[in-house]
Amino acid sequence: MEAIFFIMFFLVMSVFVVTFVKMIGEWFKNNNSPRLSVDAKIVAKRSHVSHHHNQHGSHRSTSYYVTFEVESGDRMELHVSSHEFVLLVEGDFGVLHFQGTRYLGFDRQYGDSVAH
């Protein structure tokens, strides 16, 4: 019985360590990436709701994502805040500012100033 407890504890701790290392790695990669500004179009938006349960009840969190298409036709999905998610509209053209996988902002262009 103690062996099973040790194995389960080791597996759970391993998942936490691997997740933490991946997060730190992405943070360093983003910080070492150049800040870029490119013409882009918003082509999709989505949200993801996560439910977390523990002994004190349940908790719900929502993550927001926007997919941008750049002039080359490449698409990238970036995590954005709920405030940005509400302001961004599918079909909008503008200048996307990002650093690695980190969303920095979007400057909407009005009229025909950006053509795709």
Q: Which tens digit of pLDDT belongs to each residue from 62-85?
A: 999 999 999 999 999 999 999 999
Check residue 28 and give its pLDDT: 84
The structure tokens 């019985």 sit at 1
**Architecture per CATH, 35-116:** Beta Barrel (2.40)
Q: 70 and 50 in contact (C-beta within 8 Å)?
A: no
Nearest-5° Cα angle at 113, 111 to 116: 105
pLDDT score at 116: 47
What is the C-alpha to C-alpha distance for residues 38 and 114, in angstroms, rounded to an integer? 11
Rounded to two decimals, the pTM is 0.74
Q: Any idea where the domains of the chain sit in the sequence?
A: 1-32, 35-116
pLDDT attached to residue 2: 85
**Strand partners of residue 40:** 70, 94
How far is Cα 101 from Cα 80, in angstroms, rounded to an integer? 11
Residues of the chain with pLDDT under 50: 114-116
Rounded to whole angstroms, the Cα distance separating 60 from 105 reads 26
Which amino acid, 47?
S
Both tokens of 69, joined, read: 């298409």
Position 53 scores a pLDDT of: 78
pLDDT of 111 = 67
